[in-house]
A and B are shown apart, each in its own frame.
Chain A
């Protein structure tokens, strides 16, 4: 039962963190709750489809369907996170002003950040499919312990949800002017971590062939398989044995998102702010 709880917890942790951050980042943006809800729903539906068609997916792309799929979903999430940051740089200030002025009631005519609905959907899709497959495996084994394991799985799901809530409440407890700065950085690092993860899948799929030897090893300090390690892995892309391509993509993603936000995300169109 405990084993099932831990496995499910690990799987839902990432999705829960992403949802918590997205909810905090879009606080006060008109329609954002609906979009997050749509993202979760679509992600769950997608996860069920992926779990059912796991065989076909595996056999796609010469047996590398899973890896290509994961890399694509991650890549999509990275682009959407980056786009969201550019959008928020443009509109964050006015939303923050509105929030303090009219007490959360925001009448923004701007396009809602549906980009983050896609991010949420992608996270739920990726982690959900694994959870569904795992739980399905337990239940279909039909053993006496299956019911217990299912209870454990439900416990893991709830625990993951609690972590998501904690990060959300931790973030929104901040004063609004700090909130946007912090969520902007969180989203940038989230994107960088996902991009680094995507390159690992692309390499595993054989789309690229990169030297994946570790450049350094900090597993003595914090193991990536521990729960704190997993948390940091999702939040800032912490990897205890990163390879050169992972480091390069990580840095490149941060630099790209920051530069794009500066260049086209400024509220006043015109000259981009210099460094």
Chain B
């Protein structure tokens, strides 16, 4: 019984890995300045692998975090970080800068 679950989940994993790898990427960018994202509303195509560049123009580090997208990434001051996610279903996906959650907020809209 236990072995069956394991084999099944392993097989399921191989299956989904196989179907996922052929996706193409689309690129977007947002900039952090004074602990705010600009733009803070990013519209991306649904059903595609997305690349989002997060440029941090502040001198302090920020952690880009999106619970909805299952992403956590530290972006040091005056540098930029690359975030890849998707394919997304149409909908809104919130994100924050965890180190300055009060101001650093935004949303990714998949259409």
Listed in ascending order, the chain A residues whose CB lies under 8 Å from chain B are 3, 7, 54-55, 58, 62-64, 66-67, 130, 133-134, 136-138, 140-141, 200, 203-206, 208-213, 224-225, 241, 243-245, 247-249, 251-252, 255-256, 258-259, 275
Contacts and interface: CB of A to CB of B under 8 A. Distances in A.
A59 to B, nearest CB: 9
Q: How large is the interface on B (under 10, 10 to 19, 20 to 34, 35 or more residues)?
A: 35 or more
B69 to A, nearest CB: 8
B17 A210 contact: yes
A241 B71 CA distance: 13
Contact of B13 (A224, A249, A259): A249
Interface of B: 1-3, 5-6, 9-10, 12-13, 16-17, 20-21, 23, 49, 59-61, 63, 67-71, 73-77, 79, 81-85, 87, 89, 98-99, 101-102
User: Which DSSP category, helix, strand, loop or mixed, fits chain B's interface?
Assistant: mixed
Contacts of A275: 1-2
User: Which DSSP category, helix, strand, loop or mixed, fits chain A's interface?
Assistant: helix
Given A134-B61, A209-B20, A55 B79 contact: yes
A63 B81 CA distance: 7
Contacts of B67: 224-225, 241
B6 A212 contact: no
Contacts of B89: 213
Contacts of A208: 17, 20-21
Given A204-B70, A248-B13, A64 B60 contact: no
18 contacts: A54-B76, A55-B79, A63-B82, A130-B63, A141-B59, A141-B60, A200-B70, A204-B70, A204-B83, A204-B84, A210-B17, A225-B67, A241-B68, A241-B70, A245-B13, A245-B16, A248-B9, A275-B2
